[in-house]
Amino acid sequence: MAKNKRAFTVALVQLDVGPDRDDNLRRAKKLCAQAARRGADVICLPELFHFMGIFHHPCAAAETADGPSIAAMREIAKRHRVHVVAGSILERRGRGLPLNTCFFIAPDGRIAARYSKMHLFDLKIPGRIRFLESHTMRPGSHATVMSTGFGTFGFAICNDLRYPELFRRMVKAGAEVIFVPSAFTRFTGRDHWLALARVRAIENQCYIVAVNQSGKNMEGVHFFGSSLVVDPWGKVLKEGPLTGDKVLSCKIDPSLVSELRSQLPALKKIRKKYPLVRRP
């Protein structure tokens, strides 16, 4: 766990992402610069901040880590001396379908860590919504944590919120703040977005910083917006609008994590095994 951790300001850059990569990057850079001028230490963008179109040919929308989207975020980090959680992009790596990868960029522009989404979102409700990520990307294979001067960060992406095992793994490795870049749909978001973010924060006694897309994709799927920060007690410190580009700033104090975990030592009481007795 990082020593000498200190409070910091996080900026959530909520975006209405479209199919025009150049326009998406132009607006993302503008909002990131605005966030930096407001005093952000860490800036987080949403999932697939570079492109939200039709994914019939996902490899065509994919980039390498050296592509224009991550290059733009590395330049932002360097120019403004901030950390950037570069949402995610479709990352071309090896053969086959791309990965959905979040890049954590240090103030010197270096890629300090990366995480590829492990739990892909498939939803098929006839006549209402169809969203099949497993047809357009492949899942990642491991969790990621990163020690910083602000404490230990963890990373998840969107549908990962439904999987408490991933969050518990990161917390057991020291995570105190977990970033969740997302493109959570309106259909599921109305009932699940806030509930899942709060319960992940409460059960792990950590901060959740969940930055969501707004708007809709070219197939008419609407996204829920409502980017938010939840503290380790489950209190919502900041929440964005349902629609539109927006920069939200919030102060995070990692010492609250240590204080709460000391006062309510729930994580220390997790058992290694939970034997099951099955009754007829």
The first and second tokens of residue 12, run together, are 């959530």
Burial 52-74 (b: 16+ CB within 10 A, else e): bbebeebeebbbebebebbebbb
pLDDT band at 185 (very low <50, low <70, confident <90, very high): very high
pLDDT in tens, 151-174: 999 999 999 999 999 999 999 999
CA atoms within 13 A on the CB side of 173: 18
Question: Which of 32, 44, 47, 250 is an active site residue?
Answer: 47
Q: What local confidence, expressed as pLDDT, does residue 2 receive?
A: 45
Residue 102 annotated in active site: no
Residue 176 annotated in active site: no
Question: Which of 32, 44, 102, 158 is an active site residue?
Answer: 158
**Global pTM?**
0.96
pLDDT in tens, 47-106: 999 999 776 667 778 999 999 999 999 999 999 999 999 999 999 998 899 999 999 999
Maximum Cα interatomic distance, the chain, rounded to a whole number of Å? 65
pLDDT in tens, 11-60: 999 999 999 999 999 999 999 999 999 999 999 999 999 999 776 667 77
CATH number of the domain at 8-269, out of 3.60.110.10, 3.40.50.280, 2.60.40.10, 3.30.110.30?
Answer: 3.60.110.10
pLDDT in tens, 207-240: 999 999 998 888 888 999 999 999 999 999 999 9
Question: Which of 44, 91, 117, 176 is an active site residue?
Answer: 117
Residue 63 annotated in active site: no
